[in-house]
C-alpha cells in the first residue's frame, strides 16, 4: 500500500507536440525547450509533494540540476513525453529524476532523448526566505535510500563549492557610475524563428520593432529605475529583408534626457547564418522616446544623463535638436486646433 501511494504521489508525465518554434531551421528541437519542460515537470511534482502533509503551504524552488546529456535529437512533429519521479528526500531537499522520450506518432518509434536529475527546496509561501521541512518518501528497497543519500551528500558539497565561487564573483562592470551612457547601455540577441516570419520566410517588420522597443525599454528602466513607457518612435526604414534563422543583435544607448523624457538610439544588426555569402549588416536604427510614470500615470522627473565623451556630448546636442523640433511641431498643431 505504501509503495502504491508513493508512486501515484510521486510521478507525473507532461506531453506536448514539438512545434516549429521549438526547433532550429534544420528541424532539431532546441535543448532549451526540453530543459524547460523537464523543470516544469520537476516543479509540479516537488511542489505537490512538499504540500502533501498538513502545515504551512510552500512551493518548490529549483536549487540544482545535475549534468544532463542529450542522447539523441528530437524533431518537429514528434511528441515529447517528460516523466518525473521523486527518488530521494532529505530534511530540506527533494531529488527528482526525469526521463524524456521522443515519440514519432506516424511510425510509432520511441527513443530516449534525456535523463535529468533536479534538486528542489521547499520555500514558505508566506515568507519566501524561510526553508520548510520536506515530508519523507517511502522506499521500496533499503538500498534506494542509501544511494539517494550518497547523491545528496555529493551534490551538497558541490553546491557549497560553487556558492563560495559565485559569492566571490566580481561582475565586470563596464561603467559603474549611475546615469552615464555606459551604465544603462544594453543589447540583446534574438534568433528569428518561424513564428517571427511571413509564410515566405522573412521576419515581419513588427518583430524587429518589438525587439527594438524592448531594448529601449530596458535602457530607460536601467537609467531611471521606475515604471517607464514608450512615448514615441522616430521614423524607421527597413532597407533589407531579414531571413528566417538570422540572428538579430539589437543595441540601445541613451542619447538625450529632458526634464521628463529620455531619448534612446537603437540599432539592429543582422547575422544571416543561413546565407554564407553575406556578412553582418545593419538592418534598421531609430530613436525611441520614453517617459517615466508614477502610480497615477503622471510623468515623473527623469535623472539627467551624465556625459563622459565628446561623442556623447555631440549626440546629446543632436538629440536636443530633435526634442525641440518635435516640441515646436506639437505646439503648432495645438495652436491650429484651438484657433
> Under a CB-based contact definition with an 8 Å cutoff, are residues 149 and 88 in contact?
yes
Q: What is the DSSP letter of 1?
A: -
Cell of 187: 543589447
Indicate whether 76 belongs to the interface with a second copy (CB under 8 A). yes
In sequence order, the β-bridge partners of residue 97 are 85, 117
Of all helices (H) and strands (E), which one includes residue 41?
Answer: helix 31-50
CB of 179 to a second copy, least distance (A): 11
- How far is residue 160's CA from residue 155's CA, in Å, rounded to a whole number? 9
Indicate whether 51 belongs to the interface with a second copy (CB under 8 A). yes
In sequence order, the β-bridge partners of residue 271 are 247
Of 213, 263, 265, 312, the one binding a second copy (CB under 8 A) is: 213
- How far is residue 29's CA from residue 31's CA, in Å, rounded to a whole number? 6
Site residues for a second copy, 252-311, by CB under 8 A, read 269, 271, 273-274, 276, 280-282, 285, 288, 293, 295, 297
Q: Dihedrals φ, ψ of 85, to 5°?
A: -145, 140
Q: How many CB atoms are located within 10 Å of the residue 118 CB? A: 24
Of 133, 145, 147, 234, the one binding a second copy (CB under 8 A) is: 234
Of the ranges 30-38, 85-93, 133-141, 306-314, which one interacts with a second copy (CB under 8 A)? 30-38
| Active-site pick, 22, 51, 196, 213 | 213
Indicate whether 63 belongs to the interface with a second copy (CB under 8 A). yes
Which of 137, 41, 136, 128 minimizes the C-alpha distance to 80?
Answer: 41
Nearer Cβ to a second copy (272/316):
272
Q: Does the active-site annotation cover 213?
A: yes
Site residues for a second copy, 31-50, by CB under 8 A, read 31-33, 35-40, 43-44, 47-48
CB of 146 to a second copy, least distance (A): 20
CB of 80 to a second copy, least distance (A): 10
Total residues at the site for a second copy (CB under 8 A)? 128
Site residues for a second copy, 78-97, by CB under 8 A, read 79
Site residues for a second copy, 168-187, by CB under 8 A, read 169, 171, 173, 178, 186-187
Site residues for a second copy, 188-207, by CB under 8 A, read 188-191, 193-195, 197-200, 202, 204-207
Indicate whether 209 belongs to the interface with a second copy (CB under 8 A). yes
Q: Dihedrals φ, ψ of 189, to 5°?
A: -115, 145
- How far is residue 204's CA from residue 215's CA, in Å, rounded to a whole number? 18
Which of 209, 224, 214 minimizes the C-alpha distance to 306?
Answer: 224
Of 7, 65, 131, 306, the one binding a second copy (CB under 8 A) is: 65
Q: Does the active-site annotation cover 275?
A: no
CB of 116 to a second copy, least distance (A): 9
Indicate whether 61 belongs to the interface with a second copy (CB under 8 A). yes
Which of 252, 269, 244, 255 minimizes the C-alpha distance to 212?
Answer: 252
Of 7, 14, 131, 306, the one binding a second copy (CB under 8 A) is: 14
Q: Which residues contact 239 (CB under 8 A, 6 or more apart)?
A: 283, 284
CB of 339 to a second copy, least distance (A): 20
CB of 196 to a second copy, least distance (A): 9
- How far is residue 131's CA from residue 79's CA, in Å, rounded to a whole number? 36
Which of 68, 48, 74, 71 minimizes the C-alpha distance to 59?
Answer: 48
Burial class (CB in 10 A: 0-12, 13-18, 19+), 109: exposed
Nearer Cβ to a second copy (3/125):
125
Indicate whether 214 belongs to the interface with a second copy (CB under 8 A). yes
Catalytic residues: 24, 213
Amino acid at each position: 500500500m505504501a509503495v502504491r501511494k508513493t508512486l501515484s504521489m510521486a510521478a507525473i508525465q507532461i506531453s506536448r507536440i514539438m512545434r516549429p518554434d521549438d526547433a532550429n531551421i534544420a528541424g532539431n528541437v532546441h535543448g532549451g525547450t526540453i530543459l524547460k519542460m523537464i523543470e516544469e515537470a520537476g516543479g509540479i511534482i516537488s511542489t505537490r509533494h512538499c504540500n502533501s502533509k498538513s502545515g504551512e503551504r510552500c512551493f518548490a524552488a529549483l536549487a540544482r540540476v545535475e549534468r544532463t546529456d542529450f542522447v539523441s535529437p528530437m524533431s518537429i512533429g514528434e511528441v515529447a513525453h517528460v516523466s518525473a519521479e521523486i527518488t530521494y528526500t532529505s530534511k530540506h531537499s527533494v531529488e527528482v529524476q526525469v526521463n524524456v522520450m521522443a515519440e514519432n506518432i506516424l511510425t510509432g518509434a520511441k527513443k530516449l532523448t534525456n535523463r535529468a536529475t533536479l534538486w528542489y527546496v521547499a520555500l514558505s509561501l508566506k515568507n519566501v526566505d524561510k526553508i520548510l521541512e520536506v515530508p519523507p518518501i517511502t522506499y521500496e528497497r533499503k538500498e534506494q535510500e542509501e544511494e539517494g543519500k550518497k547523491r545528496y551528500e555529493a551534490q551538497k558539497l558541490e553546491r557549497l563549492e560553487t556558492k563560495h565561487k559565485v559569492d566571490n564573483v566580481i561582475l565586470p562592470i563596464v561603467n559603474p557610475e549611475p546615469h552615464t551612457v555606459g551604465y544603462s547601455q544594453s543589447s540583446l540577441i534574438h534568433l528569428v524563428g518561424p513564428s517571427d516570419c511571413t509564410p515566405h520566410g522573412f521576419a515581419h517588420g513588427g518583430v524587429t520593432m518589438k525587439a527594438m522597443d524592448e531594448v529601449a525599454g530596458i535602457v530607460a528602466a536601467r537609467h531611471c529605475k521606475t515604471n517607464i513607457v514608450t512615448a514615441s518612435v522616430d521614423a524607421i526604414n527597413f532597407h533589407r529583408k531579414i531571413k528566417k534563422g538570422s540572428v538579430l543583435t539589437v543595441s540601445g544607448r541613451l542619447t538625450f534626457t529632458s526634464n521628463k523624457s529620455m531619448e534612446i538610439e537603437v540599432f539592429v544588426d543582422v547575422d544571416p547564418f543561413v546565407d554564407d555569402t553575406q556578412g553582418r549588416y545593419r538592418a534598421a536604427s531609430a530613436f525611441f522616446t520614453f517617459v517615466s510614470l508614477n502610480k497615477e500615470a503622471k510623468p515623473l522627473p527623469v535623472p539627467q544623463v551624465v556625459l563622459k565623451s565628446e561623442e556623447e556630448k555631440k549626440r546629446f546636442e543632436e538629440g536636443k535638436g530633435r526634442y525641440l523640433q518635435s516640441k515646436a511641431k506639437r505646439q503648432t498643431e495645438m495652436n491650429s486646433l484651438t484657433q
